[in-house]
Chains A and B, each alone.
Chain A
Amino acid sequence: MNSQNEVLKVNNLTIGYKGKKSLKNILLKDLELPVDKGDLICLLGPNGSGKSTLLRTIAGIQRPLKGNVLIDGKDIFTLDRKLLAQKLGVVLTGNADTANIPVNSIVSMGRFPYNNWLGMMRQEDLKKVDEVLNITGLEKYRNKNMSELSDGIRQKVMIARVLAQDTPVILLDEPTAFLDIPAKLEIMHMLRTLVRESEKSVILSTHDLEMALQSADKIWLITKDSIVSDTPEDLALNGYFERTFNTGDVEFLPGKGIFKMSYTGMLKLKVTGNELVVFWTEKALERIGITVTYENNYDGELIITANNHEKEWLLKLGNQERMFDSIAKLLAFLSRSSINNSQ
């Protein structure tokens, strides 16, 4: 890896909390993680594994138990805070309580590491704020108070603030939590574009593996008390996700890159017909615990005929044959019959 491109280095870092007396509550230890210019890194790991603590430590908000974090080769804990704020910006998890502050003012706060001790905005600060409001599409909200905005827009404002801070490294702690899917995708798209166009390095923590697989250059995957850093594809092929996330009830499907709730279905059905309808039918069947199989060992057959106007599901089960005109009716019947079976 080219060290010329390295902007941040996590160096022999052990994080956690100091307990009573000499006892330490270690979350992650001996971390060695390089961050290159223009990397979008997703930090993944189960709840309570230390994602927030790691980000807070890298941001210099919290002290490590051991080791250090270097930015441009300098230790962030000895670097002047104002200088550090020009190199590294943060968006913390959850909603900051910003009730009655206008959007414009929140974004302007990002310029504080640059302007004078009274916080007066210079011409270039105002220009930067305008530019950021423009690229984040927040122009129309600039005079609105934060309390008037939706969660998604508020999160965008907090990200706009960190963009106004104009740092080469940006950390975001669960920026897409609590957002609906379009808002999630929009924020990821914004970050992706940002990384590509301005060569900033972004590290963000998330629970959303599917989204991370789509957008990350690199994934930091928390395993037990350490972190594996690699491209998402290599991690998937080497079976890391299954090992980390599989519990009895949920399993990772490497073939599809998604998680699935695993039911042990009693009934096996073979489903044939229109591809799209088969896809959704399969989802519905899996939900009620019926396994869809493509092998020849099945209990029944479901034949779908679909055209623009109507769809029909023909179920052949044992010596019965029944026709349904919606998935709901099909499910209702199957649930009833599977109860009968189990009795």
Chain B
Amino acid sequence: MLRKNKYIIFILLLITVIAFCFDILLGSVSIPIGEALKIATGSTKANPTWVTIITEFRIPKAITAILAGSALSVCGLLMQTFFRNPLADPYVLGISSGASLGVALVILTTGTIGGKLFIIGSIIGRISITVAAGIGAAAVLFIITAFSKRISSNVTLLILGLMLGYIISSIESVLKYFSAPENLQGYIVWGMGNFGNVIWQDLVLLIPVVLVGLLSAFLLSKQLNLLLLGESYASSMGANIKLTRLLIIIIAGILGGIITAFCGPIAFIGIAVPHLTKSIFNKYDHLLLIPFVALVGSGLALICDIISQLPGSDQVIPINVVTSLVGAPVVIWIILQQKKIKHSSFME
């Protein structure tokens, strides 16, 4: 069993490393592989434009894809275990809605000039979007944690998160309705997700936050395992449910919130990767699942990013289009697969 898993881990690591390299080598500007490798390994003798593209744009983007993939996938796993619902994802608590509202307020309420700023992607525009999204996500997280102390049922909490999402998106609709077309375009572009907006300075914040979030999730493994049998059983086996709840919500909120703030809402990674990982490893233990999920999430996010660059063309499609096109079939395939397993075991 373990040996088989070791091979799988090795293959997954290999895929991730290769995907990371391809993500740097491929893009809308075609750079010869030899040159690209030289630049990536620190040579500055090459074409200065290419150097800038690779060191300032593609490498941070690839790192962001890894961070986003692992953070959203682990966040999705936490939510699925916590709510004992296979359809839960990083956004069920309404955190991405909060981020979206923050961004909507910034982009849609500034004048036309502001709108143009955001489309072009100026530094001020970029920073204010990230901060607004972060504040929006944090506000929702705060509301949810405040309620979670009073609400004992997870289902109620789930419904609360969903309803909060509806309220927020209706406010957004009002904002959209009254805003200028240029601004609307900026907002829609943000909503399609993008790993490429992150620069080195952002990574200084993004890397430690995601790593701490992932590590904290890992340290909760035992509690998460207990929760697989439900809260009553978990409590009967010594888990402190109130504290565990609060920690899960905060960790998931921070992981989901910070990625949404920097990359926009990224669809399907958070829901698909935990299922995909479980079907590869057939493991329940979070002590193993969390690192595996982070690995699979990183790899999948990189692959989606490569596809979104449409290698060989100078066009780019939004990352969310790719994650949905890859993620939805994965979820469908897994669900059908599971059904098959159940049926065959009935036949025996």
A100-B239 contact in complex given A147-B342, A148-B345, C-beta closer than 8 Å: no
| Residue of A59, A81, A86, A120 with most partner-chain B CB within 10 A | A81
B236 and A119: CB pair below 8 A? no
A113-B237 contact in complex given A61-B232, A98-B229, A118-B222, C-beta closer than 8 Å: yes
A133 to chain B, nearest CB (A): 17
Chain B, range 106-148, C-beta contacts under 8 Å to A: none
Chain B, range 195-247, C-beta contacts under 8 Å to A: 219, 221-222, 225-226, 228-230, 232-233, 235-240
A81 and B284: CB pair below 8 A? no
Chain A, range 89-105, C-beta contacts under 8 Å to B: 89-90, 92, 96-98, 100-102, 105
Q: Mark A60-99, 1 if CB is under 8 A from B, else 0.
A: 1100000000000000000001101110111010001110
B232 and A92: CB pair below 8 A? yes
Question: Any chain B CB within 8 A of the CB of A165?
Answer: yes
A51 to chain B, nearest CB (A): 15
Given the complex, which residues of A lie within 8 Å of B338, measured CB to CB?
100
Given the complex, which residues of A lie within 8 Å of B233, measured CB to CB?
90, 92, 96
Question: Any chain A CB within 8 A of the CB of B287?
Answer: yes
Give A169 to B338 CA distance when docked, in angstroms. 38
Given the complex, which residues of B lie within 8 Å of A112, measured CB to CB?
222, 225-226, 237-239
B229 and A109: CB pair below 8 A? yes
Question: Any chain B CB within 8 A of the CB of A50?
Answer: no
Give A30 to B232 CA distance when docked, in angstroms. 25
B340 to chain A, nearest CB (A): 12
A4 to chain B, nearest CB (A): 27
Task: Choose from B238, B240, B285, B341 the contact partner of A113 (Cβ within 8 Å).
Answer: B238
B284 and A118: CB pair below 8 A? no
Q: B348: nearest residue on chain A (CB-CB)?
A: A148
Task: Choose from B228, B236, B345 the contact partner of A147 (Cβ within 8 Å).
Answer: B345
Given the complex, which residues of B lie within 8 Å of A102, measured CB to CB?
284
Q: A162: nearest residue on chain B (CB-CB)?
A: B236
B345 and A165: CB pair below 8 A? no
Q: A144: nearest residue on chain B (CB-CB)?
A: B345
Task: Choose from A61, A98, A101, A118 the contact partner of B236 (Cβ within 8 Å).
Answer: A61
A100-B284 contact in complex given A112-B222, A148-B345, C-beta closer than 8 Å: yes
A97-B282 contact in complex given A61-B235, A81-B240, C-beta closer than 8 Å: no
Give how many A residues have a beta carbon under 8 Å from the other chain's beta carbons. Answer: 32
Given the complex, which residues of A lie within 8 Å of B238, measured CB to CB?
81-82, 84-86, 112-113
Give A60 to B345 CA distance when docked, in angstroms. 37
A118-B232 contact in complex given A112-B237, A147-B345, C-beta closer than 8 Å: no
Give A119 to B282 CA distance when docked, in angstroms. 19
B231 to chain A, nearest CB (A): 9
Q: A120: nearest residue on chain B (CB-CB)?
A: B287
Chain A, range 301-337, C-beta contacts under 8 Å to B: none
Give A100 to B279 CA distance when docked, in angstroms. 10
Q: Mark B275-287, 1 if CB is under 8 A from A, else 0.
A: 0001000101101
Give A102 to B341 CA distance when docked, in angstroms. 14
Give A82 to B238 CA distance when docked, in angstroms. 4
A183 to chain B, nearest CB (A): 18
Q: B344: nearest residue on chain A (CB-CB)?
A: A148
Q: A62: nearest residue on chain B (CB-CB)?
A: B232
Q: Mark A155-191, 1 if CB is under 8 A from B, else 0.
A: 0000000000100000000000000000000000000
B225 and A97: CB pair below 8 A? no
Given the complex, which residues of A lie within 8 Å of B278, measured CB to CB?
100
A93 to chain B, nearest CB (A): 10
A119 and B287: CB pair below 8 A? yes
Given the complex, which residues of B lie within 8 Å of A109, measured CB to CB?
225-226, 229, 237
Given the complex, which residues of B lie within 8 Å of A96, measured CB to CB?
229-230, 233
Q: A143: nearest residue on chain B (CB-CB)?
A: B1
Q: A90: nearest residue on chain B (CB-CB)?
A: B236
Task: Choose from B221, B284, B345 the contact partner of A101 (Cβ within 8 Å).
Answer: B284
Given the complex, which residues of B lie within 8 Å of A119, measured CB to CB?
221-222, 225, 287
Given the complex, which residues of B lie within 8 Å of A38, measured CB to CB?
none
Give A113 to B219 CA distance when docked, in angstroms. 16
B239 and A81: CB pair below 8 A? yes
A52 to chain B, nearest CB (A): 11
Given the complex, which residues of A lie within 8 Å of B282, measured CB to CB?
100
Give A120 to B239 CA distance when docked, in angstroms. 15
Q: Mark A244-277, 1 if CB is under 8 A from B, else 0.
A: 0000000000000000000000000000000000
B232 and A56: CB pair below 8 A? yes
Given the complex, which residues of A lie within 8 Å of B219, measured CB to CB?
117-118
Q: B231: nearest residue on chain A (CB-CB)?
A: A61
Given the complex, which residues of B lie within 8 Å of A113, measured CB to CB?
237-238
Question: Any chain B CB within 8 A of the CB of A232?
Answer: no
Given the complex, which residues of A lie within 8 Å of B228, measured CB to CB?
98, 101
A84 to chain B, nearest CB (A): 7
Task: Choose from A97, A98, A117, A165 the contact partner of B222 (Cβ within 8 Å).
Answer: A117
Q: A102: nearest residue on chain B (CB-CB)?
A: B284
A81 and B287: CB pair below 8 A? no
Given the complex, which residues of A lie within 8 Å of B84, measured CB to CB?
97
Give A147 to B340 CA distance when docked, in angstroms. 12
B214 to chain A, nearest CB (A): 15
B342 to chain A, nearest CB (A): 6
Given the complex, which residues of B lie within 8 Å of A165, measured CB to CB?
237
Q: B341: nearest residue on chain A (CB-CB)?
A: A147
Give A197 to B236 CA distance when docked, in angstroms. 24
Q: Mark A117-159, 1 if CB is under 8 A from B, else 0.
A: 1111000000000000000000000000001100000000000
Given the complex, which residues of B lie within 8 Å of A89, measured CB to CB?
236-237
Give A132 to B232 CA distance when docked, in angstroms. 22
Q: Point out residues on A near B: beta carbons under 8 Å.
A: 56, 59-61, 81-82, 84-86, 88-90, 92, 96-98, 100-102, 105-106, 109-110, 112-113, 117-120, 147-148, 165
Show 14 residue pairs from A and B whose CB-CB distance is below 8 angstroms, ordered by the A residue: A60-B236, A61-B236, A90-B233, A90-B236, A92-B236, A100-B278, A100-B282, A102-B284, A105-B285, A109-B229, A112-B239, A117-B222, A118-B222, A119-B221
